[in-house]
Structure 1
Amino acid sequence: MWHKREMVVHESDPYNAEPPRNRLLAPLTDADSFYVRNHGPVPELSPDTWSVAVTGLVSEPVTLSLGQLQARFAQHTVLATMQCAGNRRSGFLPVRDIPGEDPWGPGATSTARWTGVRLGDVLRAAGVHDAARHVEFAAPEVSQLADPPQPYGGSVPLGKALADEVLLAWGMNGAPLPPVHGGPVRVVVPGYVGARSVKWVRRITVRADPSENYFQATAYRVLAPEEDPDAAGPGDGISLGPVALNCDILSPEPDERVGTGPVLVRGYAHAGDDRRVARVDVSGDGGRTWCRADLDAAPSPWAWQHWRATVELAGPGPHTLLARAWDSTGACQPESAAALWNPKGYVNNSWARVPVNPAAAAD
């Protein structure tokens, strides 16, 4: 098993797991608790023999070893949250089933301190052509989800690829990047869904158009509710990029016994891309009244923010705790998961809901 600590394992092959809620209460997520999303087996790659090829619409195609990356380019560290596009998918299941997809809870998001070189520095050294608009990443991880099976890949717009926060990372929280998290080297694209932070990257291709890889052209796209995901083709639906505004409750746990009266509620919020969390509201009475949460300062422009609020639970339960976030554009999370349901279960950013039972607290 890849993780030393207890994880909520959704699949063993390929390995996909998230931490329990309480593991996300710290500003930084340790590697053993960081969520894992894989589409195929974890490849065995040696840092000594790993290399990445930079090709496509560049003046000087180049292949770089890990040692050459570290010697030629300045090292940078970015503290950033990574969030799976399927985070909180389990909240869709009461609306309608989503066959074939892992029922991720709120733990498919984690935050780490990533160390590497700026992808933009590497691309500028290679000489990006004027016709370039997108940057594609390819991994050796062969996935059976594609038909026919193919290595995992995806792309981001050139403007994002050149941004200072985007890294080719070999370090995680001050240690070498573990293989299950993409070591020896992965792409880290802060503010975008985790699907675009390609692990074990072996090829970077500068292109005029988005990647034609299955996981860019067909998967990781939001389909209309009536569409059949098995019949979806390249270009159908909305391609996922920047993370949507989201938050969830980490404590108390669902169905936890709590006392009547004041109850401390804690959680995380994350705005994604270049937006910021501006406010979090919490309710203990089903949304009839709200109180404003105390919001921690963001540890970086690309990281989540933790929050806490004390709500009054009056009378016998059960009760449902609610939380909703607002971002720096003035947007608020949508109330209902039913309004967001889609056949692949992506981007559930509806209000957080956690049932608790104060009536049993005196036992």
Structure 2
Amino acid sequence: MAWGKRADVIVHEREPFNAEPPRAALAAAHRTPLDTWYVRNHGPVPGIDPAGWRLRVGGRVARPLELSLAELRGRFTAHELVATLQCAGNRRAGLAQVRDIPGEAPWGPGATATASWTGVRLADVLAAAGADPDAGHVAFEAPDVSRIASPPQRFGGSIPAAKARGGEVLLAWAMNDEPLPAVHGAPVRAVVPGYIGARSVKWLDRITVQDHPSDNFFQATSYRLLPPEADPAAAGPGDGISLGPLALNSDILLPDDGARLRAGPATVRGYALAGDDREVARVDVSADGGRTWTQAELDGPPGPWTWRLWRTSLDLPPGPVTLTARAWDSTAAAQPEHAAHLWNPKGYANNAWARIHVTSV
């Protein structure tokens, strides 16, 4: 399979390469193996010589920087952080069941994954550059050129300066204790925990401190939540709601949708992710479409930047069964019940209750 991915990945597009693993593969471990990680690209993977790569930091800074990879690694203290990334289009297939979403990949629940990331804190680099404390945003740019924009342009985006100064945002060169793979952004990528994956810009080569959000197509126009009646082809910069922090979300990983199971006790497993700096507090699972619920067991200690894998056992009656899951976060917020209430013409931010249909015999 391309780019070192497992043979059973679900390929949504080959060029640019976009793929996700089957849902069951994500249940295997808290840290997702590199061959199981989803890939979301907007243009061809750029060929970058690490020896010639430079990171330029400019804009509202007192001391503009130009750093080689060796200088970045040698000048700043390295940190490791376990964090989950999730595409804004994760679970889009559930919205497409409500109403067609032309021109967008039908991502299932696999456009999310967790890794340990090694790199330097963006906050330390901004401090070294003398970033203006009154600037409101930090913009990222990379050399992958996307034809989704018209005219084609380099991929970019931005995050609020307050988020950029948080110690959790990294400029990473390693993933699961291995060198960052090319398809995941080598030699250096941004890792912005708690935000949509599009803000964790891969192949990062430019950081700009500025007063306003990035005017790059993928910040100003593409990754925005439009109202149901909007025409995405006619949407322009600033239309809709800019996507940043992730919404509380969960899904069922095992059993698979459409599975045939034995009636009686069955193990159900899945993930939940709170987004931003919130934590997953509870997951409820139902075998009767939501009339009654069982509270799932959550793995590991809670943390603000990673998913929590969960499991429970349910007694399945003979016949067709709808398994349903919903998560609650540390602010006592819960997932909305129906995807129909969330439908939007680009299929972003589906965080409705997770549902799969199985047959028990």
Q: TM-score, normalised by structure 1?
A: 0.97
**Match among 131, 134, 138 for residue 137 of structure 2:** 134
1:270 maps to 273
Residues 260 and 313 in structure 1, CA contact (< 8 A), matched pair in contact too: yes
Matches within 5 A, 1:206-285: 206-285=209-288
1:82 maps to 85
1:197 maps to 200
| Pair 1:24 & 2:26 matched | yes
Q: Distance in 2 between matches of 1:219 and 1:73?
A: 34
| Pair 1:313 & 2:316 matched | yes
1:5 maps to 6
SS of 2:113 mapped into structure 1: strand
Shift of 1:94: 1.4
| Pair 1:174 & 2:177 matched | yes
Q: Distance in 2 between matches of 1:326 and 1:44?
A: 42
Cα deviation code 1:27-63 (max 9, x no counterpart): 0111111000000000011211111100000000010
Q: Distance in 1 between matches of 2:283 and 2:232?
A: 34
Q: Percent identity?
A: 64
1:80 counterpart letter in structure 2: A
**Match among 89, 109, 113 for residue 110 of structure 1:** 113
Q: CA RMSD in A?
A: 0.9
| Pair 1:184 & 2:182 matched | no
Q: Distance in 2 between matches of 1:163 and 1:298?
A: 21
SS of 1:2 mapped into structure 2: helix
Q: Distance in 2 between matches of 1:265 and 1:271?
A: 20
Shift of 1:188: 0.3
Residues 274 and 304 in structure 2, CA contact (< 8 A), matched pair in contact too: no
Question: How many residue pairs get matched?
Answer: 358
Q: TM-score, normalised by structure 2?
A: 0.98
Higher mean alpha-carbon deviation, 146-155 vs 253-262, is at: 253-262
Residues 27 and 299 in structure 1, CA contact (< 8 A), matched pair in contact too: no
Residues 5 and 32 in structure 1, CA contact (< 8 A), matched pair in contact too: yes
Shift of 1:126: 0.4
Q: Distance in 2 between matches of 1:223 and 1:317?
A: 40
2:65 counterpart letter in structure 1: V
Q: Distance in 2 between matches of 1:232 and 1:313?
A: 46
Shift of 1:297: 2.2
SS of 1:218 mapped into structure 2: helix
**Match among 329, 336, 349 for residue 347 of structure 1:** 349
Shift of 1:299: 6.8
1:331 maps to 333
Q: Distance in 1 between matches of 2:303 and 2:79?
A: 14
1:91 counterpart letter in structure 2: G
Cα deviation code 1:296-341 (max 9, x no counterpart): 1247431100111111112x31111000000011110000000000
Shift of 1:4: 3.8
Q: Distance in 2 between matches of 1:155 and 1:134?
A: 7
Q: Distance in 2 between matches of 1:300 and 1:69?
A: 28
Structure 1 residue ranges without an equivalent (≥5): none
Higher mean alpha-carbon deviation, 179-188 vs 254-263, is at: 254-263
| Pair 1:153 & 2:160 matched | no
Residues 292 and 309 in structure 1, CA contact (< 8 A), matched pair in contact too: yes
Shift of 1:262: 1.3
Residues 279 and 302 in structure 2, CA contact (< 8 A), matched pair in contact too: no
Q: Distance in 2 between matches of 1:184 and 1:177?
A: 7
2:181 counterpart letter in structure 1: P
Greater than 2 Å deviation, 4+ residue runs: 297-301
Q: Distance in 1 between matches of 2:309 and 2:5?
A: 25
SS of 2:183 mapped into structure 1: helix
Residues 118 and 164 in structure 1, CA contact (< 8 A), matched pair in contact too: yes
Cα deviation code 1:72-105 (max 9, x no counterpart): 0000001000000000000011110000000000
Q: Distance in 2 between matches of 1:299 and 1:173?
A: 20
Q: Distance in 2 between matches of 1:131 and 1:352?
A: 42
1:332 counterpart letter in structure 2: A
2:47 counterpart letter in structure 1: E
Higher mean alpha-carbon deviation, 165-174 vs 293-302, is at: 293-302
